[in-house]
Amino acid sequence: MRTWFVLILSICLSSLLYSQKEYTVACIAFYNLENLFDTLDTEGVNDFEFTPGGPNVYNSAVYYDKLKNLSRVISEIGMDYTPDGPALIGVSEIENITVLTDLVRQPAIAARGYQIIHQDSKDGRGVDVALLYQPKYFKPDTMYYYSLIKSDEGEEVKYSRDILIAIGQLDGEPIAVSVNHWPSRSGGEQTTAHLRQKAGAYNRFFLDSIAETLHITKALVMGDLNDDPTDKSVRQSLGGQRSPDNLGPHAMYNPYENLYRKGLGTTAYRNAWSLFDQIILSDELTNSETGFKFYKADIFNPSYLKQKSGNFKGYPYRSYSFGKYIGGFSDHFPVYILLVKPK
């Protein structure tokens, strides 16, 4: 029998001051798994560096240690609010279905029975996005994959990671979930900014189309966007706004902008934090008067996920440093949101 965690606490919601109620809680997360490859040299995929004979000496011992570490993180996200952790978790930088299958079978999370939504993308490095879900909470209906072109007109066609959109039922409520890993800043932030703006615009188009044709207005966009909450791709192309008030049908609420303005981030480079990993919600999911609505957003960054010393002290504790495996987790912190609805 399905059991939802019941959260009993004082919550300040928009329609009331403080009151004690029982709430059904859904945790939704996103995590860039930083190059979760298998150990095989796959034909047609640029993955040699993540093989035993490659420069990273990426062997079975490294692979299974990384799986163990990542599953520990996933097992702990949202545990202060629900004993089952994330009902949904989007992931990026994964090579194929094999690594996902091995991940969800890790002892730390195997009992949750995560199922996988994934397809191989046309990305040159062979990395993809995927959505893991617990079937007792989420029932997928339809999946769409959009191959995102990252080359300009007149150039040889090259692809980035797919945009994955899963439509289904979250505890009986229709919801659309978009999982993303937008084109990187390789070659320069401004040189590649238009590619991420296109990715934001595509998401906006897809969600508007789903709302118009399927009448599903509760939606969220999650992913490693390779842009911060204040960048044009997020603010204008996608429509992410800092405030949850007066959003309208073509705007979304980005709770990570306020965290970013406080100096928080999910990845660091040259002593500067970026908050590339975000979960952004539609107006209906943010301010709904019935069913699930937004309660909280956070970055999951306990001390064990941070470098303890050296020049990168406080940075995310990654798997490799200068080509050597150091037993870490990822170069990104995961993010998560809580949705609640009265019992």
Asked whether the predicted pLDDT for residue 16 surpasses 50, the reply is no
Residue 31 domain flag: yes
Asked whether the predicted pLDDT for residue 8 surpasses 80, the reply is no
For residue 74, the number of C-alpha atoms closer than 13 Å in the C-beta half-sphere is 32
Q: Could you tell me which residues come within 8 angstroms of residue 100 by beta carbon, excluding any fewer than 6 positions away?
A: 91, 94, 116, 118, 130, 132
- What pLDDT is recorded for position 10? 34
Predicted confidence (pLDDT) per residue in 81-132, tens digit: 999 999 999 999 999 999 999 999 999 999 999 999 999 999 988 999 999 9
By percentage, how much of the chain surpasses pLDDT 70? Answer: 94
Asked whether the predicted pLDDT for residue 17 surpasses 50, the reply is no
Predicted confidence (pLDDT) per residue in 140-172, tens digit: 999 999 999 998 888 899 999 999 999 999 999
Residue 1 domain flag: no
pLDDT mean over 206-233: 97
**In terms of pLDDT, which residue wins out, 194 or 152?**
194
- What pLDDT is recorded for position 124? 86
Dist. CA 262–CA 143, nearest whole Å: 36
pLDDT mean over 69-88: 97
Asked whether the predicted pLDDT for residue 11 surpasses 70, the reply is no
Domain span including residue 165? 6-342
Two structure tokens written together for 64? 């299974």
Look at 19-28, 195-204, 249-258 and tell me which has the smallest mean pLDDT.
19-28
Two structure tokens written together for 171? 């505890």
Residue 260 domain flag: yes
- What pLDDT is recorded for position 12? 35
User: Confidence band (pLDDT; 50, 70, 90) for 45?
Assistant: confident
Listed residue (202, 127, 109, 206) closest to 167, CA to CA: 206
Rg of the chain (C-alpha set): 19
Question: The whole model's pTM is what?
Answer: 0.94
Predicted confidence (pLDDT) per residue in 293-328, tens digit: 999 999 999 999 999 999 999 999 999 999 999 999
Contact 285, 293 (CB under 8 A): yes
Structural domain count of the chain: 1
- What pLDDT is recorded for position 198? 97
Task: Give the DSSP per-residue string, 168-230.
Answer: EEETTEEEEEEEEE----TT-HHHHHHHHHHHHHHHHHHHHHHHHHT----EEEEEE-SS-TT
Residue 123 domain flag: yes
Asked whether the predicted pLDDT for residue 15 surpasses 60, the reply is no
Contact 94, 130 (CB under 8 A): yes
- What pLDDT is recorded for position 343? 83
Residue 240 domain flag: yes
Residue 161's alpha-carbon distances to 102, 147, 237, in angstroms, are 21, 7, 18
User: Confidence band (pLDDT; 50, 70, 90) for 34?
Assistant: very high
pLDDT mean over 229-256: 95
pLDDT mean over 62-77: 98
**In terms of pLDDT, which residue wins out, 139 or 14?**
139
Residue 293 domain flag: yes
Listed residue (215, 186, 182) closest to 201, CA to CA: 182
User: Confidence band (pLDDT; 50, 70, 90) for 44?
Assistant: confident
Listed residue (58, 66, 65) closest to 39, CA to CA: 58
Residue 264 domain flag: yes
Q: What is the CATH number of the domain that holds 27?
A: 3.60.10.10
Residue 98 domain flag: yes
Asked whether the predicted pLDDT for residue 6 surpasses 60, the reply is no
Residue type, 313: K
- What pLDDT is recorded for position 2? 45
Asked whether the predicted pLDDT for residue 14 surpasses 80, the reply is no
